[in-house]
Amino acid sequence: MTAASDGGGLAISPALRDALSNWLDHLGALNDASPHTLNAYRGDVAGFLSFLAHHHGGAAGLAQLRAVETRDMRAWMAQARAKGRGARSLARALSALKGFVRWLSDREDGFDATAILSARAPRHQRPLPRPLDETAARAVTETISHDRAEAWIRARDMAVVTLLYGGGLRISEALGLTGRDADTATTPGASLRIIGKGNKERMVPVIPAAAEAVAAYQRLCPWPLEPDAPLFRGKRGGPLNPRLITRAMETVRLQLGLPATATPHALRHSFATHLLSAGGDLRAIQELLGHASLSTTQIYTGVDTARLMEVYRSAHPRAASRD
């Protein structure tokens, strides 16, 4: 069987290339994985196959995968770390590889994936989110895009970031709203139906500030807010590019003297952290954020504890005297 290239110089047997493609199709169809996630998984698995081809001096194929031993896995991870790959990134690659070979072993007779599936990822500490404090978050929603000439664009950007902070939305979720959501988004106390990652649905209450911001945008928007059209429009009427909100955040960040971590996603982190600080229930915050697992939401307890310790070290007399 001749080897084929994956387009990046890596020789992969046709059978293995088809298997990788079918696995990615499976993830996209049944697990509703995003194109970004699928591309990342493709790169992770292809990276391992590239190592395997060079490690054994031949095309990467099903036979090479069947023959993988524990020492091969250790060599792959050692090489990746030597090239500067972080523990968290390597753990993600190993997870993708395990998913692929687990799927493959269910379809290939005699495929023993024990060496790969038993490999342990390097330990890594998940970085804490970097939220803005309440004053900074409020300032962002009140001042973003004030340098823009067109009033409707200023109103649009303000509405988007107010939804991010006021509802804990991801930027893709806010920009995924349509004209059909306009009435709900402008009604204080109503609940927006949000479709998040993995096509999971959740209901997010509309706070008064968000309702007012979206209503102001709706009044000024020069484009008809048709039911199936995007709620937030670009300058020429098409869907709003998320990069424009990122740029607006970069501008306001400089104006307010905020750190580089003040991104659109930081407003979602701020939403969760401020709710938790105010006594919000962790399970309720999980539902509002659309996290599948409570462990994902629990990371915000680490943020709250870290901020508490900062206050303690700076304000407590005994702590200050030791610094």
Which residues lie below 8 Å from residue 300, measured CB to CB, with a gap of 6+?
129, 269, 272, 273, 276, 285
Both tokens of residue 236? 């020429």
Residues 115, 71: Cα–Cα separation, whole Å: 9
| Predicted local distance difference test score (pLDDT) of residue 129 | 63
* Contact criterion met (CB below 8 Å) for 206 and 192: yes
Looking at residue 233, what is its pLDDT? Answer: 95
Q: CB–CB of 152/198 below 8 Å?
A: no
pLDDT in tens, 116-165: 888 887 775 566 667 888 898 999 998 887 666 689 999 999 999 999 99
Residues carrying an active site annotation: 170, 197, 265, 268, 291, 300
Helix and strand tally (H, E) in the chain?
Answer: 17, 4
**What's the pLDDT score for residue 171?**
92
Q: How far apart are CA 89 and CA 69, in angstroms?
A: 22
The highest-level CATH class for domain 134-272 is mainly alpha
Angle among Cα 159, 163, 164 to the nearest 5 degrees reads 120
Read off the pLDDT of each residue in 3-20 and give the average, rounded to a whole number.
64
Residues 259-316 pLDDT 10s: 888 889 889 888 888 887 777 777 888 888 877 777 667 666 655 555 544 544 554 4
- Give the whole-angstrom CA distance, residue 210 versus residue 232: 14
Give the mean model confidence (pLDDT) for residues 199-224: 92
pTM, whole model, 2 decimals?
0.61
Q: Where in the chain is the domain with CATH 1.10.443.10?
A: 134-272
Task: Dig out the tokens for 29 from the structure.
Answer: 């169809």
Please tell me which residue, 32 or 112, carries the higher pLDDT value.
Answer: 112
Residue 31 banded pLDDT, cuts 50, 70, 90:
low
pLDDT in tens, 35-62: 888 898 999 998 898 888 887 776 677 7
